[in-house]
Structure 1
Amino acid sequence: MKNKSFKLAAVTLLGVLTLAGCSSSKEVASMKGAKITEEDLYKELKKDKNTSGQVLTGMILNEITDKEYGSKVDQKEVDKQYNEMQEQNGGKKAFEDLLKQNGLDVKTYKESMKTQLAYKEMLKAHVKITDEDLKQTWATYHPSVDTQMIVLGSEEEANAALKEINDGKSFDEVAKAKSTQEATKKDGGKVTFDSTYTTKPERVAIPDTVKEAAYKLEDGKTSEVIKATDMTTGADSFYIVKMVKNQKKGNDYKKFEKELKTITEEAKLADPMFQQEVIGKELEKANVKISDPDFKDILTPYLPKKEETKDTKEQDKKSDKKADKKDDKKETTESSK
C-alpha cells in the first residue's frame, strides 16, 4: 500500500513540474552538504518513460477536454454522481476519510469527476449514428419486460419453490421467503430489464440465459427452473421467472429508435478503437507540440497515420527525378574533369 501511495504522489508532482516548465530550482529536500530541487526530482521521474509519458499524455488530454468541453458539463450532474459515490462508500464521513487516505479532498475529487464527464462529452461530439448502426443494435435488442424472479443456490431448493408456486402459493410469498436476491426479494422479486445492462432496481445482474428464457413467456406464465453459471466464479444459480408484462419486439425497429440510439451511442463511447480515433482528432485539432525531446513520440500511438495522397506521390516522383538529374549532372562534370 505504501508503494502505491508513493507512486501516486510522485506522478502528481511530476504533473506539477511539467506544467511549471521543468526548470525550477526550488528546493524539495535538503541534507548535510546537499539538496534536491524540483528539477532534480523531475529528471529522476523522467527515467521511467512509461509512467511519466502516460502522465503527460493524460495531462494534455485533460487540458483539451476541460478547455473545449468543460462548459458542457452541468455541475448538478457532478454533484449527483459525487453523492452517489458517497452513498455507495458508507456516507459523507466515511467517503471523505477514504479520499484523505488517497491524498484527495472533495474539491479535487469533484474536479476529476468533471474532467471525466468532459471527456465523455468530447467522445459524444464525435458520435455519428447511421441506420446501419441501428439495425445492428436491433438484431440483439429486446425491449423492456416486467417480471418477478426467485434466485436460489441449489436445484433442489429451486424445484421445491417451484412446486409451492404450482400448488397454489403466490409467487410474491415464495420470493419474499426464499429468494437469495436481496435487491428484489422484499418486493416479491419484481425486476424490470431489457437486453442491455439496464435494470430496475439498478445493478441487478441477470444472466443472458435467464433473459432469453423470460422473453419466451406469455404474461402471467411462470418458467421452469433455469440454471445459470457465473463465468467468473463457476458457481451455479437457479432462477424461477414469472412474466408480468412482456413487451414483444415485433419487426419494426423504428418503434424503439430512441432506445436503440442510446444503446448504440453507449456502445461507441465504450469502444477503445473509437476512443483512440477521437483522441487523435482532438490532438490534431489542438495542434499539440511536445517541446521536451524525451517525450516527442508519446502521442504517436494516438495520432492518425497520414495516407499518401495522389498529389503527395506526384511530388515525391518529381523530387526523385530532380535528384536523379542532379546526380547525372554531377557525374558528367566529374568525368569531363
Structure 2
Amino acid sequence: MKKKILLATAGLLSVIVLGACSGSSNQDIATMKGGKITVEDFYNEAKKEQNNQSLVRNMIIYKVFENAYGDKVTDKQVDKEYNKQSKQLGDSFESQLQSAGYTKKSYKEYLKQSLAFQEGLKAHVKITDKDLKTAWDSFHPEVTARIILASSEDDAKEIKKQLDDKGDFAKIAKEKSQDTTTKKDGGQIKFDSQSSTVPTEVKEAAFKLKDGEVSDVITATDASTYQASYYIVKMEKNSSKGNDMDKYEKELKQIAEDTKMADQTFSSKVISKELKKANVKIKDDSFENILSDFLTTNSSGKTTTTDSSK
C-alpha cells in the first residue's frame, strides 16, 4: 500500500514570495527601456491568482484555530504525527519534504496548525444517541485475517486457483503478495470497520466470511486515481458485534466523532463561528471575498458570519 504525503509546494512558495514582497515593495525586479517591474507590481498581480487567494484563506483559518486551540497541542503530539508520516513514507519522506520546500521545523509547525484545527473541530462536537445508533449500524469489531494483493487481475485469478487447489495461503502471500506491509507475516493483518489499512471493498467482503473461508478475487478502486487493485482474503478470526452497544461505547463515540468532524457542513459551521469569535477583518480589497464560504458581507461592507444554526 503506497502512501504519499500531501505537501503544498505552490502554497509554501507563495507564502515566501508574498511575505518577501510585502516587506520591500519599492525594490526593482527588472528594469528595461521605458519602464520597470517592481516587487509591488509583482505582489499586486500575485495576489489575484486563485491559488494565492486560497492560500491566504487557509492561512487565516489555520492562524485563528492555532491561536484558539494551539495550547491543546503538545510537542509530543506533533512529534508523534511527524514520526508516523516519516515511518509510512520511509526513505522518500525527506525528499518529499525538500521538494515541497519544507524543513523539519517548518513542517512540524504546519502539523501543529493542522492538529490545532482538529482540536477546534473536536471542541464543537456533541454526540447524540442518534449519532451512536448510526455508528453502530456500520460498525464491525476487529477481525484477524490474511490478505494477498496481486500484481494484476490475471495474477489474482491464478493465485485463487492455487488456493482452491489447497495451496497454503500464508506461503503464497509471502511469495506473491505486493503488500509489503503484510507479506513477511504471510499476509496477516487485523482491522475493523473504521480501519484505513485495507480498502473498503476488502473489509466488506472479509466481514462476510466465516473463519477459515477464502474470498473470491476482490476488486478495489482507488477513489482518487481510479486505479483498480486485486485482493484475496482469508478470514482467520471473525467477530460478531452482537446486540450490546454498551460493550463498544468507546469505539462508537470515536466513530461518531470522526464522522461529524469529516462532515463539510459541520466543519464550515465551526469555521464560521471561530472566525466571528476571532473578529477577523479583511483589510486588503483584493482578498475581500476569500472567506465568503464562511462569512457574508452586508450592504455597509461589514463582515458578519453566516447563520450556523441553519
Partner of 1:242: 235
Paired residues for 1:49-198 under 5 Å: 50-91=50-91, 95-152=93-150, 153-165=155-167, 171-198=169-196
Deviations 1:163-194 (A, max 9, x none): 225xxxx5544443454443223213211111
Deviations 1:312-337 (A, max 9, x none): xxxxxxxxxxxxxxxxxxxxxxxxxx
Deviations 1:192-227 (A, max 9, x none): 1111224xxxx3x2443x434433444xx3224422
1:299 Cα deviation from its structure 2 partner: 1.8
Letter in 2 for 1:14: L
1:87 Cα deviation from its structure 2 partner: 3.7
SS of 1:69's partner is helix
In 1: Cα distance, 2:37 partner to 2:187 partner: 63
Higher RCO, 1 or 2 (CA under 8 Å, sep at least 6)? 2
2:248 aligned with 1:267? no
With over 3 angstroms needed to count, the CA separation of the structure-2 counterparts of 1:103 and 1:180, relative to structure 1, is closer
Judge conservation of contact 1:176–1:187 (CA < 8 Å) in 2.
Answer: yes
Judge conservation of contact 1:45–1:52 (CA < 8 Å) in 2.
Answer: yes
SS of 2:291's partner is coil
Q: CA RMSD in A?
A: 3.0
Partner of 1:223: 213
* Equivalences, count: 284
In 2: Cα distance, 1:16 partner to 1:281 partner: 32
With over 3 angstroms needed to count, the CA separation of the structure-2 counterparts of 1:237 and 1:272, relative to structure 1, is same
Judge conservation of contact 2:144–2:189 (CA < 8 Å) in 1.
Answer: yes
In 2: Cα distance, 1:104 partner to 1:175 partner: 38
In 2: Cα distance, 1:147 partner to 1:306 partner: 48
- Computing the radius of gyration over CA atoms, which structure comes out larger, 1 or 2? 1
TM-score (norm 1): 0.72
In 2: Cα distance, 1:81 partner to 1:59 partner: 21
Partner of 1:314: none
In 2: Cα distance, 1:103 partner to 1:283 partner: 29
**Structure 2, gaps ≥5 residues long:** 1-7, 296-304
2:282 aligned with 1:278? no
In 1: Cα distance, 2:69 partner to 2:216 partner: 47
1:133 Cα deviation from its structure 2 partner: 0.3
In 2: Cα distance, 1:178 partner to 1:223 partner: 20
SS of 1:183's partner is coil
2:257 aligned with 1:253? no
Partner of 1:44: 45
1:161 Cα deviation from its structure 2 partner: 1.8
In 1: Cα distance, 2:178 partner to 2:113 partner: 39
Judge conservation of contact 1:73–1:117 (CA < 8 Å) in 2.
Answer: yes
**Structure 1, gaps ≥5 residues long:** 308-337
2:17 aligned with 1:13? yes
Judge conservation of contact 2:214–2:235 (CA < 8 Å) in 1.
Answer: no
In 2: Cα distance, 1:5 partner to 1:197 partner: 29
Which structure dedicates a bigger proportion of its chain to helix?
1
Judge conservation of contact 1:159–1:225 (CA < 8 Å) in 2.
Answer: no
SS of 1:287's partner is coil
With over 3 angstroms needed to count, the CA separation of the structure-2 counterparts of 1:228 and 1:25, relative to structure 1, is closer
